[in-house]
Amino acid sequence: MLDERLETESAAIATLGLSQLRLMRDGRWPWLLLVPQRAGVSEVFELAPLDQTMLTFETNEVAKALKQVTGADKINIAAIGNQVRQLHVHVVARFEGDANWPGPIWGYGKAEPRSDEDVAALACKITEGMARS
Amino acid sequence: MLDERLETESAAIATLGLSQLRLMRDGRWPWLLLVPQRAGVSEVFELAPLDQTMLTFETNEVAKALKQVTGADKINIAAIGNQVRQLHVHVVARFEGDANWPGPIWGYGKAEPRSDEDVAALACKITEGMARS
């Protein structure tokens, strides 16, 4: 059962072994979420040990593809969850001079809508990048 | 070789299998860093696969102990590195109503010095917590 806020603010783009991969509908940064398909978990260390390893593997595969596809200067990875307690891992492509660089993206300003077409195009590039790597 | 800024802003409290565990000298939040002892790495996915798994294991052990020891409402984990490129993972204990809650800690306000005595006391609690868990 996906948290309502994650559902509204992001679009599903792939199903991995453990996680659903989602793309945030915010045009300021290429911003992905991994949502492990496990109920009632809010901290990474609450996952079973094998799931912890799986989540790391999936996170790093996604991060590597995101870097290759976007040419980002730095990938930011985080599990925060102060507002939405359902476990989700952020993977964000950052560029020098982007919105709030070099500060964090979380809690900064307001989302700038990313069009459905842009969501689809970026999702396509990312899933192709993951298939290649 | 430890980055100069990490060296100044944090104190070493333990040596784990892969990482040096450090405590930030900032009294606003109980805030730890894991610094994998590998040269020239700035992204988690640049680590060898076994090191990636090891870092996850160490991060989650530290996070679990930090939660137990502090009674935090939420643990925040992140690899950002927009300013300091040497790979380091933040593990932070957050409490409802703490500085900038529920926003992120990174880039927020100015550090409030944590005394050497406080650093030592918290370090002791955390390493004891890790030994118990």
Hey, which CATH number is domain B4-132, 1.10.150.120, 3.30.428.10, 3.40.50.450, 3.10.270.10?
Answer: 3.30.428.10
* pLDDT confidence of residue A12: 97
Tell me which of A34, A45, A101 to substitute to probe the interface with B (most B C-beta atoms closer than 10 Å).
Answer: A45
Residue type at position B100: N
Give the long-range contacts of residues A117-126, CB within 8 A, separation 24 or more.
A118/A27, A119/A11, A119/A13, A119/A23, A119/A25, A122/A23, A122/A30, A123/A11, A123/A13, A123/A14, A123/A23, A125/A69, A126/A13, A126/A14, A126/A23, A126/A30, A126/A32, A126/A62, A126/A65, A126/A66, A126/A69
pLDDT digits (tens, 9 = 90+) for B57-108: 999 999 999 999 999 999 999 999 999 999 999 999 999 999 999 999 999 9
- Both tokens assigned to B9: 């802003």
**8 A C-beta contact, residue B128 and residue B65:** no
A57:B52 CB<8 A: yes
**Is residue B132 very low, low, confident or very high in pLDDT (cuts 50, 70, 90)?**
confident
Domain ranges of chain B: 4-132
Which of B116, B99, B115 shows the shortest CA–CA distance to B107?
B99
Q: List chain B residues with CB under 8 Å of A106.
A: 103-104
> Out of B53, B76, B80, whose CB is closest to A56?
B53
* pLDDT confidence of residue A132: 86
Tell me which of B32, B64, B77 to substitute to probe the interface with A (most A C-beta atoms closer than 10 Å).
Answer: B77
Please give the average per-residue pLDDT across A45-63, as a whole number: 97
Tell me which of A42, A51, A56, A133 to substitute to probe the interface with B (most B C-beta atoms closer than 10 Å).
Answer: A56
Please tell me the distance from the alpha carbon of residue B48 to that of residue B9, in angstroms, as a whole number: 28
- Phi then psi for residue B64, to 5 deg, are -65, -45
**8 A C-beta contact, residue B63 and residue B91:** yes
Q: List chain B residues with CB under 8 Å of A85.
A: 74
Q: List chain B residues with CB under 8 Å of A44.
A: 59-60, 63, 77
Please give the average per-residue pLDDT across A79-84, as a whole number: 98
